[in-house]
Amino acid sequence: MSEPRHLVHPDADSLATAAARAIVDHLTERIATSGRATLSLTGGSVGVKTAAALADAAVEWEKVTIVLGDERFVPAGHAERNDGQLDEALFDSLGDRPTVHRWPARTEADDDVDAAAARFLDSLDVPAGDDPIFDVTVLGMGPEGHIDSIFPHTPAVAETERLVVGVHDCPKPPPERMTFTLPAVRRSRHVLVVAAGEGKAEAVARGLGGASPSDWPVAGAVGIETTTYHLDGGAASALG
């Protein structure tokens, strides 16, 4: 696994632009090597800014498969679904060029979050063994160090085998979610963590400092080839 590093940018907008530029480079390199690339995106304010910065990027999107790292188990079109934010920021402008896999939406007939999460995983073409699932994974981060819907001291962060789980009683509403786990995140060639603001400073320091992922889940988000934190000054303020 890679050794995490960090880059500090003047503000959230320049952070998002720089992260998007790195994503484009990784995708382009992988497409040149294998003909296709897989990208995992995140929601949240900086994650959405990063996605928006990709909208005009010169990428062969028809050769890219996109998934979201997690999703809230609410009905389609609900304001709290991550895919709605990303539709506006990126997907609407890309049209049908990339292949986008969306997590199931909650319905009256389908209200079992665990079954929905399992069904989503079954719909993906996951490589066998320990081969990489994602070429690039982009992660936002909460002030307590949560990534995707993996929160401290929860069953999701303790998962060591399953790639996808349903989340119950999430510390942050809505209570039911679906998420990739740390074993899945670690099967990414490149991991980019995007974070802005002083409220994220302790989590950044803990993640880069090698804290226990049980306490600070971001510390467990390590890519195979690279792990890069893209930060503004506030998020980097607790680093030595």
Q: 184-213, pLDDT tens digit by residue?
A: 999 999 999 999 999 999 999 999 999 999
Tokens of 144: 């307590």
> Rounded to an integer, what distance in angstroms lies between the CA atom of residue 40 and that of residue 67?
5
Tell me the pLDDT band of 128, cut-offs 50, 70 and 90.
confident
* 136-185 pLDDT tens trace: 999 999 999 999 999 999 999 999 999 999 999 999 999 999 999 999 99
Secondary structure element (H or E) that encloses residue 207, with its range = helix 201-208
Nearest to 153 by CA among 172, 171, 134: 171
What is the maximum span of the chain, computed from C-alpha positions, in angstroms? 52
Bridge partners of 41, per DSSP, are 68
- CA 61, CA 137: separation in Å to the nearest integer? 16
CA-wise closest residue to 99 among 137, 127, 125: 125
Distance in angstroms (rounded) separating the CA atoms of residues 161 and 186: 12
Cα–Cα distance between 19 and 139 in angstroms, integer?
Answer: 11
Residue 51 confidence (pLDDT) above 80 = yes
> How many CA atoms lie less than 13 Å away from 116 in the CB half-sphere?
25
**Which of 198, 211, 163 shows the shortest CA–CA distance to 184?**
163
Domains and CATH numbers, the chain: 5-232 (3.40.50.1360)
Helix (H) or strand (E) holding 183: helix 182-185
The CA distance from 72 to 80, in Å, is 7
Q: 105: which 2 tokens? A: 């939406």
Q: What is the pLDDT of residues 28-43, one digit of tens each?
A: 999 999 999 999 999 9
Strand order in the sheet with 70-72: 70-72, 177-180, 164-167
Q: How far is CA 45 from the centre of its chain?
A: 13
pTM here is 0.96
